[in-house]
A and B are shown apart, each in its own frame.
Chain A
């Protein structure tokens, strides 16, 4: 299967600062990338869907000004958590997808801790 990388795998930041998470599709061109948030022992919650060169589509209840998504190319999407607060601490996962009966390929996730 395709490989999706995420960087960093773990980040600690201070309250009020911003942090950027990168998601790269290493060996295929993804039409669409997805960003999820996962709390301990819970399911994945979709935050937003993005296509290359287009504005991201955010799920209801997700603050688009807080979670900035940029999808600069078919292989790179970034999630920036702006003015982070402790309640933003979570596990963030990206995935890459394409049209058709294919699975989404998931990155290994990024653990964000805001102190």
Chain B
């Protein structure tokens, strides 16, 4: 079974600064997908960024980028130019690539990192 570990329960960053959230995972699979989701106080889960394991290039989405190290099984999220609206719970998630099952595979979540953004 796959596991996802987020070792930072809480992080704090000043507005306009950069912060990196850590995530490691354990799997014996070679094909999979990784995600970062954000959960603000509204509790609506919002996709931040995704990475396909077969792609060597790190994914980027505006101020959000990842450092994907497949051999090390590490998938950290970097938030640049932090904004007050970035304050939320961030979850790292793993999903196996389906193999002709016709069923979307499930997400395995980490325990989350609560990010505070200060003025």
B is a partner of A: yes
Which residues of A pack against B, CB within 8 Å?
Answer: 1, 30-32, 34, 38, 41-44, 46, 49, 51, 91, 93, 95, 97-104, 106, 108-109
B104 & A43 in contact (Cβ 8 Å cutoff): no
**A29-B112 Cα distance, complex, nearest whole Å:** 29
Contact of B98 among A99, A103, A106, A108 (CB under 8 A): A99
B47 & A49 in contact (Cβ 8 Å cutoff): no
Residue of A nearest to B47 (CB): A103
Contact of B44 among A43, A103, A109 (CB under 8 A): A109
The reply on B64 being an interface residue by CB < 8 A is: no
Considering only CB atoms and an 8 Å cut-off, how many residues of chain B contact the other chain? 26
A46-B107 contact given A1-B47, A109-B44, CB 8 Å threshold:
yes
**A49-B95 Cα distance, complex, nearest whole Å:** 14
In the complex, how many angstroms separate the beta carbon of B63 from the nearest chain A beta carbon?
18
A44-B52 contact given A101-B33, A103-B35, A104-B104, CB 8 Å threshold:
no
A43-B112 contact given A101-B33, A108-B42, A108-B44, CB 8 Å threshold:
yes
A31-B107 contact given A103-B47, A103-B50, A108-B44, CB 8 Å threshold:
no
